[in-house]
Structure 1
Amino acid sequence: MKKIIDLCKEVPLLPLTILAAIPLALIPQWRPWGHIHPAFDPGVGEWIIILFVAWTIYTSIREMIDSIRHGHIGVDLLAIVALVSTVCVQQYWASWAVVLMVASGEAIESYAQNKARGNLTALIKAAPQQAHVVTLPGVADGGEAQLTEEGFRKVQQAVEQAQREGKPITMGNGHFDTVPVNDVKLGSVLIVLPGEIVPVDGQLLSGTASVDLSNINGEPVPRTLFVGAKVLSGSINGSTTMMIRTTSLAADSQYQQILKLVSSAEESRAAVVRTADMLAVPFTIISFAIAIVAWIVSGTGLRFAQVLVLATPCPLLIAAPVAYVAGTARLAKQKILIKSQDVLENLGRVTHVFFDKTGTLTVKQPQVVRVEKAKDMPANVSEDEILMLAGMVEGFSVHVLAKGIVAAGKEAMARLHRLPSSSGKTAADGAGQRELPNPNENYPVVGNVSETPGKGVTGTVDGHKVEVGRFAFVTEQSIASEEVHTAQEEERNEKAMEQADREAAKLWPTELEPDEMATYIAIDGKLAARIVLRDVPRYNAKQSIAQLRELGVKEETMLTGDKKASAMIIANEVGITDVRYELLPQDKVNAVREAAAAEKTGRESGWKRFLAKLLGEPIHRDVTMMVGDGVNDSPVLAVADIGMAMTDGTSTAASESAEVVIMNDDIGAVPLGVKIARQTKQRMLQAVLIGIALAIVGMVCAAFNLIPVVVGAFLQEAIDVVSILWALTALFNRKQASHAGIRT
């Protein structure tokens, strides 16, 4: 009921028109003023309808002129002429029905647009509106680079006191104040209460925090952040009070960048929608032609009105834009953001996709692929135990390989049943309450950890000395401990360590593949194993490439600066045959530019050229798309017809050079985006053509007097509803995809 009331408030002409039917039915010909003229002498109920017709014509003319000024064809002319003709032939119920059609058309459009924008509206509603600024001396003025425990405790106590007294936090004893988010200044310290949206980008000052990033990248599991970590606007704070120092203004923060992409796409008009505008011209001509012929043949103006009340413009005015807004919203729900609806149109016509290798086809972070034990390592020491020991000490390292080893170590600990569980007890720290591990479990004890940059990390785990790093480091060769004083000594030291690594490779029977790298581990001073890592393909990269082929994409090309051997290994694993390797950034740009130029000059048939010219579309040609990580690939993303940047929701650089931004870092979104774009265009064209076809059939029937004028007016309303509801199906996915038989 509330939705109906809101809709009536938004389109007041609709309820007023419905109420106007009452006097038309009860007192249509009551004339308290007497008769005026025998040829044109409406009663009270009929005059009310005439006034509604006059108002509708006025507003329609104004909207049509505005549309023409903005370059859109105004098909409201059909409705205007239909209204005038029904009044002239004194068919007031038909006039009322046409006014109802116009009013309900606006209401249906409003409903359909709101329905289609549902996912976009959810994004906009989640935008932060206010921020709680800390006013403590020494904190608010930026005097402290990092919030002290005493400062945090003061603010936390003030929050708790305000909550106990039921006061808004703006009254928190003068320690903080609530301001509009646009008034927040750089360097200000903000407090974010549990469950609140982070208002602007900032740096975490208080202990640890748990944030929900689902609004940004769809990440389902809350992410734990530590002191100094970047906190993104739009993320939702967990169960503890958080404090951040702002690093961006509201307008420049992450969530606002997302909203800019959404708004630009929502306000744009796709080329295919402009095509619908072009179809309005022949449709208007056909409608008038049928109506005039029917009038001439029948000899009565009533037949003219009968035809025109069925000349519904709604499939052209409403169905086309509704379908594209629906497609844009559906993409947004899948965390795929586009800059304009023209991009949605071109995305469905992609024929050649270029992929960056590292970070796009691969996970970017080297992963452990195997553990190779040294020859004299005891058999009772398992690979999982080696990984566990290595992972414990690497957890303190900043080396590029450390994260992969730590991840493998945690998996090994799970298999060994040595991960901690909660003891059920809690302890308070600067971030609030945290659970303590169970002290009775056999969890590894780590100590004495130190790292030698570029060489390795050492520490003790359960009393065992563990060293992980270069071969010379873990075997404690003298070159690993030499002090370096000059650049020449550093270079000589590095060459010696490389030679030691090459000699170490001879200790194992199998050679490393070109894309593999190794680190070594020693336990209690004895060489234990070689841990082999590589940048592996994403788990769904091969499947995504296959889906693109099923969708009709002709070519897939991998671009990389790596050596041929490394590039070919990844290409073979994901199923790409066209590989360009050892490329500099400019080489990648040239490769995409040359492909785009070749495809633009492709010959088109005379029939395709004729259709393109008739429909007002650019001549159909192949479309190139570059998929990259959005930072290092910015130049090549910009030169492709479509640049698609894959991010995890934490990068705004991608939005500058890419037309499409994948916010959940999932390569599976590439074929999904192409499929949604194609389905959107198909359903839009289906909605438009179904509406036009039904209208033409109805007009022909009316021309032969098979459909009375009042019935025709209501039938036209049904055609509008069918057309617009069909356009709305662009919001949904069918079990059987409409192209290539892809099931989702």
Structure 2
Amino acid sequence: MARLVSAIRVYPQVFATLVVAIAGLVLSATPAGHLTAWLVGGYSLLIAAVEAVSMIRQLIKGHAGLDILAVMAITAAVLVGEPWAALIVVLMLTGGTALEDYASNRSTQELTALLRQAPQTALLVSGSDLEDGAREVPVDEVVVGDILLVRPGSVVPVDAVLLTESAMFDESSLTGESLPVDRAAGEHVSSGAVNGSTAIRMRAVATADQSEYQQIVRLVEQAAGSKSKVVRLADRYAVPFTILSLAIASIAWAVSGDSVRFAEVLVVATPCPLLIAAPVAFLGGMSRAARHGLIVNSGQTLEQLSQVRSVAFDKTGTITTGHPSLERVIPAPGFNDDEVLQYAASAEAYSSHVLAGAVVAAGRAHGRALLESTGAEELPANGVTATFAAVPGRTEVTVRVGKPSWLRQFAPTLERVEVAPGELAIYVTVDDAPAGALVMRDQTRPEASEVMRDLHELGVTRTLMVTGDVAATAHIVAREVGIDEVHADCRPADKVHVVTDVQPRPLMMVGDGLNDAPVLAAADIGLAMGARGATAASESADIVNRFDTLAGVPQAVRIGKDTVRIALQSIWLGIAISVALMLVAAAGFLPAIAGAWLQEVVDLVAILGALRAIGPRSERKPALVPGRTTMTRVVAHTK
């Protein structure tokens, strides 16, 4: 009952039309049946008048609306004595909004899933005991430094640092990685990650509105409320479609000499399919994109994606992973690969340098246990010194890892090693003697070559790399993945200049960093690789790729092409069926009331056709892994 009352409140004209229809049927079976035509016809003219006022307002603003045909059809049907046909057209008009809402809700399930999953509350704690003094508060009240309790299966409410020794998280909704991820104390965890099987404590490092998940939610809200030029294409058909309909109706009237024929043609000329099909298709396209981790901020972007001819890429973090990995170990005389890697990883465990984590990860990946240090010190911009005891075959040793200019102060005989473009050497000394070097390299994404092939198959004729890196490195990476041309040593302003001059258009720029924000905004379409956080690049982009894969680039183009194709197909389908019905009605084979019912069928056909933009059934998997939608927040205020 509550749902019925809510529906009546939202769609009063639909229910009023149904009530009038029922009342008319009942009245026609009574001695006062002659009043039925007055009731049905009068109500229909009332609705026509309301629609006419809205139509006139649109005309004043310079928009020729298609509703003029519906108003004329209702009026003509009443005047020629077909009030029931007029009422059916009224039902079509008033029910059109309800049908569009249903289609919109159906096609935006994946978009709204993010909003439903958004944390609303958190648990704050003030003691060392996980449940000691825990209190639930709105997530918007979390401040940086609060200690949060996140219970098993709950979603991390804000970006935070893990305080518990270790924990496992499901980050599939953020990165697309299907396997659980282990995090250690001190590691950053983004909001939206789902906690594993044990309760944990975390310290907030951002407020709710600054956290990754809320940034994604805002992008989703922009996408859901957008309107594309293609959606407005229906308005372009208003004048010619109206002229054609009036011409057919007038000729039918003139040839037959029957004014009813005029009304019969106009009844099937009502243009609701044109008004509904395109918006539904674009909402479906944005929904499909969201399932692939692509948050599209406007329907306009989908239209441009369907026509994209050039694609430009940044290098680091876009074509490459942005996470250097160990390429090879070069040991000095007296040392072997395993020793150099073990010493380097053990010392780098005490460093905050951006490459330190990669060295530690390489040591663990090669099965080298980290040595326990008796003391460590980091010298910013130089390196780290660590002392280790109980090393097999040695007494206490001092290990230094860092840049060669610093290490030569302790090991004057240290020599540089030869590295290829795109490689970086990290040097190691043991007891002030050169021990060797680790050569690191930012690896290209394994899917990059296939992405370039896919783009060319989708009609992209020019691919570019626009990067601030040196030319030697950029050319090697470009050749490896199949990019057509390279623009290296570019500052942010240079990138904008390059992208502005590129032909053919439209052009899509793909980047990830702060320095990519200007060029993403300058491109026809900006796509940010924003899987690890909403940066300035994400704010400037038209599309944010939440999953850390380059495969989203051709997928975005493919979805854009499919969506526009389906939108135009739906528009032309509505026109074709309406014109065919008009010709049948003009020949006198389609009574007004039958034509009105057939037009309802045309509406449904157009909507169902547009819903194909949601994508094939095989793609329709949940966008997010199920989890608790409320957040447990424990906040302990620190001094």
Residues 1:55 and 1:389: Cα distance change in structure 2 (over 3 Å): farther
- What is the match of residue 132 of structure 2? 157
The structure showing larger relative contact order (alpha-carbon pairs under 8 Å, at least 6 residues apart) is: 2
Instruction: Determine helix, strand or coil for the equivalent of 1:480.
Output: coil
- Offset at residue 629 of structure 1 (A): 0.9
Instruction: Determine helix, strand or coil for the equivalent of 1:702.
Output: helix
Residues 1:527 and 1:300: Cα distance change in structure 2 (over 3 Å): same
Residue identity over aligned pairs, in percent, reads: 40
C-alpha separation in 1, matches of 2:390 and 2:96: 74
Q: Which of these residues, 79, 82, 96, is aligned with residue 105 of structure 1?
A: 96
C-alpha separation in 1, matches of 2:28 and 2:463: 70
Residues 1:128 and 1:242: Cα distance change in structure 2 (over 3 Å): same
- Offset at residue 589 of structure 1 (A): 2.3
AA paired with 1:53?
Answer: S
- What is the match of residue 450 of structure 1? 376
Write the deviation string for residues 209-254 of structure 1: whole angstroms up to 9, x where unpaired: 5444444444434444555554544444444444555554444443
- What is the match of residue 50 of structure 1? 41
- What is the match of residue 547 of structure 1? 454
- Offset at residue 681 of structure 1 (A): 0.8
Q: Which of these residues, 299, 304, 311, is aligned with residue 353 of structure 1?
A: 311
CA contact (8 A) 2:448 2:481 kept: yes
- What is the match of residue 313 of structure 1? 271
RMSD over aligned CA atoms reads 3.6
C-alpha separation in 2, matches of 1:2 and 1:523: 76
- What is the match of residue 85 of structure 2? 94
- What is the match of residue 726 of structure 1? 609
- What is the match of residue 401 of structure 2? 469
Write the deviation string for residues 257-309 of structure 1: whole angstroms up to 9, x where unpaired: 22222222322221122222111221122112211221122111211121111
- What is the match of residue 123 of structure 1? 114
C-alpha separation in 2, matches of 1:649 and 1:119: 20
Instruction: Determine helix, strand or coil for the equivalent of 2:576.
Output: helix
AA paired with 1:700?
Answer: L
- What is the match of residue 689 of structure 1? 572
CA contact (8 A) 1:195 1:236 kept: yes
**Is the aligned partner of 1:480 residue 2:410?**
yes
C-alpha separation in 2, matches of 1:180 and 1:400: 35
Using the size of structure 2 for normalisation, the TM-score is: 0.85
**For residues 191-590 of structure 1, what are the structure 2 equivalents within 5 Å?**
191-204=149-162, 208-227=166-185, 229-244=187-202, 246-372=204-330, 387=341, 390-413=344-367, 446-448=372-374, 450=376, 453=379, 454-455=382-383, 458=386, 460=388, 463-464=391-392, 467=399, 469=401, 479-480=409-410, 500-502=414-416, 505=417, 511-520=418-427, 530-590=437-497
C-alpha separation in 1, matches of 2:477 and 2:422: 9
Instruction: Determine helix, strand or coil for the equivalent of 1:269.
Output: coil
- Offset at residue 458 of structure 1 (A): 4.6
Paired residues, number: 613
Instruction: Determine helix, strand or coil for the equivalent of 1:273.
Output: coil
Larger radius of gyration: 1
Write the deviation string for residues 38-76 of structure 1: whole angstroms up to 9, x where unpaired: xxxx63544443354245325533554565577654222
C-alpha separation in 2, matches of 1:295 and 1:523: 101
- What is the match of residue 11 of structure 1? 11
Stretches of structure 2 lacking an aligned partner (at least 5 in a row): 620-639
Residues 1:521 and 1:718: Cα distance change in structure 2 (over 3 Å): same
Residues 1:555 and 1:190: Cα distance change in structure 2 (over 3 Å): same
C-alpha separation in 1, matches of 2:534 and 2:390: 40
Query: 625-634 vs 253-262, which deviates more?
Result: 253-262
Residues 1:237 and 1:67: Cα distance change in structure 2 (over 3 Å): farther
CA contact (8 A) 1:257 1:652 kept: no
- Offset at residue 694 of structure 1 (A): 1.0
C-alpha separation in 1, matches of 2:194 and 2:350: 28
Query: 330-339 vs 123-132, which deviates more?
Result: 123-132
C-alpha separation in 1, matches of 2:300 and 2:140: 31
Stretches of structure 1 lacking an aligned partner (at least 5 in a row): 33-41, 137-150, 160-175, 419-442, 482-495, 506-510, 600-620, 737-744
- What is the match of residue 140 of structure 1? none
CA contact (8 A) 2:384 2:402 kept: yes
Residues 1:449 and 1:730: Cα distance change in structure 2 (over 3 Å): farther
Residues 1:567 and 1:652: Cα distance change in structure 2 (over 3 Å): closer
CA contact (8 A) 2:404 2:427 kept: no
Instruction: Determine helix, strand or coil for the equivalent of 2:237.
Output: helix
- Offset at residue 676 of structure 1 (A): 0.8
C-alpha separation in 1, matches of 2:205 and 2:352: 24
Write the deviation string for residues 61-113 of structure 1: whole angstroms up to 9, x where unpaired: 35545655776542222222212222222224423422332243222211101
C-alpha separation in 1, matches of 2:53 and 2:327: 68
C-alpha separation in 1, matches of 2:374 and 2:111: 52
AA paired with 2:425?
Answer: A
**Is the aligned partner of 1:667 residue 2:550?**
yes
AA paired with 2:90?
Answer: V
Write the deviation string for residues 15-47 of structure 1: whole angstroms up to 9, x where unpaired: 564565555556526343xxxxxxxxx635444
Residues 1:234 and 1:55: Cα distance change in structure 2 (over 3 Å): farther
Instruction: Determine helix, strand or coil for the equivalent of 2:265.
Output: helix
Residues 1:240 and 1:105: Cα distance change in structure 2 (over 3 Å): same
- What is the match of residue 77 of structure 1? 68
- What is the match of residue 609 of structure 1? none
- What is the match of residue 627 of structure 1? 510
CA contact (8 A) 2:67 2:270 kept: no
- Offset at residue 132 of structure 1 (A): 4.0
Instruction: Determine helix, strand or coil for the equivalent of 1:152.
Output: coil
CA contact (8 A) 1:82 1:305 kept: yes
Instruction: Determine helix, strand or coil for the equivalent of 2:219.
Output: helix
Using the size of structure 1 for normalisation, the TM-score is: 0.74
C-alpha separation in 2, matches of 1:392 and 1:674: 46
AA paired with 1:625?
Answer: M
AA paired with 1:667?
Answer: L
C-alpha separation in 2, matches of 1:196 and 1:544: 36
**Is the aligned partner of 1:639 residue 2:522?**
yes
- What is the match of residue 678 of structure 1? 561
CA contact (8 A) 2:348 2:401 kept: no
Write the deviation string for residues 137-175 of structure 1: whole angstroms up to 9, x where unpaired: xxxxxxxxxxxxxx232x62345xxxxxxxxxxxxxxxx
AA paired with 1:118?
Answer: Q
C-alpha separation in 1, matches of 2:315 and 2:152: 40
